Amino acid sequence: MSQASLAIVNEKEDNTSKEGYVVNYLKSMIALEEAMEPFKEQKKELRSEYIKKEWLSKDEIWSAVKAFRLYKQAADLDELNDMFDLIENQFGSRGETS
């Protein structure tokens, strides 16, 4: 087999392999998303229950979730505060329209 033919065969194998990886990845991702769907619905129901029973408001839930995500990321609150101040100085206080 000539080098040109070998190169074409290798390229075709790479494409087939790449296509196979893409298909397998997408199938796995779809299966995971389908498996997660009931949990997403439970999350919505939990949120709705807390709001309905007036244990927490939408804003309190939003703030708690944001704070928890920042905590998990080990966010630097001083840096975050500085950035918030910069944005507020640039765009005005919250609730004001530019």
Give the pTM: 0.60
Under the banding of pLDDT at 50, 70 and 90, the label for residue 93 is confident
How far apart are alpha carbons 67 and 88 in whole angstroms?
A: 19
Confidence (pLDDT) at 92: 85
Where along the chain do its domains lie?
A: 1-55, 56-98
Backbone angles phi, psi at 74, to 5 degrees: 55, 45
Give residue-wise pLDDT tens across range 31-42. Answer: 999 999 999 999
Give residue-wise pLDDT tens across range 1-33. Answer: 666 655 555 555 566 788 889 999 999 999 999
Q: What is the average pLDDT across 56-83? A: 92
Is pLDDT larger for residue 94 or for residue 54? Answer: 54
Helix (H, G, I), strand (E, B) or coil at 73: coil
- Tokens (6 digits) for 49: 């229950």
